[in-house]
Amino acid sequence: MTQIPGIAPTTPPSGTGCVECLDAAPSGWWFHLRRCAECGHIGCCDSSPAQHARAHAEQAGHRYIQSFEPGEDWFWDFETDDYYEGPQLAPPHHHPEDQPTPGPAGAVPDDWKHHLHR
């Protein structure tokens, strides 16, 4: 298998939710989740209040993410700011189906739509 710099296909995801949002409990919450293709860090998307996936990419220098949403398998390259055709990563490929979006349960404000980035 060809090695792609910045992608570690055998590294599992860090968990089922955004690492930094869960650290900030009970105030942290996300809209959609993204998985770092290099270290497995799960972070929240650019529409989420804290945009932790992008922050992780900048801080760690890890350029590729894959969606961690059920039914989505696209990659994004933060260096080209475009979609990317990545390889199959280690499972699981998305957060649990019964995990709410936005999440996590109990931390999302009623007016969450007003807190999204557009």
Within 33-114, strands assigned E span: 33-36, 42-44, 64-67, 75-77, 82-84
CB contact at 8 A, 53 and 60: no
Cβ at position 55, least distance to Zn ion in Å: 8
37 near Zn ion, judged by CB under 5 A: no
41 near Zn ion, judged by CB under 5 A: yes
Number of residues near Zn ion (by CB under 5 A): 13
Q: Which residues in the 44-83 window bind Zn ion by CB under 5 A?
A: 44, 50, 52, 60, 62
Largest CA distance in the chain: 47
36 near Zn ion, judged by CB under 5 A: yes
Q: Which residues of the chain form contacts with Zn ion (CB under 5 A)?
A: 18, 20-21, 30, 36, 38-39, 41, 44, 50, 52, 60, 62
